[in-house]
Amino acid sequence: MEAEVEVQTKAPSPLDNAPDEIKLAVDLIYLLESNEVDKETAIKALEIVLSDFKNK
């Protein structure tokens, strides 16, 4: 009995070679937008995160 195996190749994305900070930023933007987070809420939350990371 033979089984067919379908191999899917993913087209390269411009993000594949992007720096980690760009990849993370894109992920965060996607997370906020896909969850329909209010713009001002997102900005305030990101300011808190930024402050926290700068103080570590």
Q: What is the pLDDT of residue 38?
A: 97
**Going residue by residue through the chain (56 aa), what tens digit of pLDDT does each one get?**
667 777 777 788 888 899 999 999 999 999 999 999 999 999 999 999 999 999 99
Query: Which pair of structure tokens corresponds to residue 38?
Result: 């209010």
Query: Which pair of structure tokens corresponds to residue 7?
Result: 């191999």
- Distances from the Cα of 40 to the Cα of 5, 44, 45, angstroms: 48, 6, 9
Q: What is the pLDDT of residue 1?
A: 61
Q: Which DSSP letter does residue 43 get?
A: H
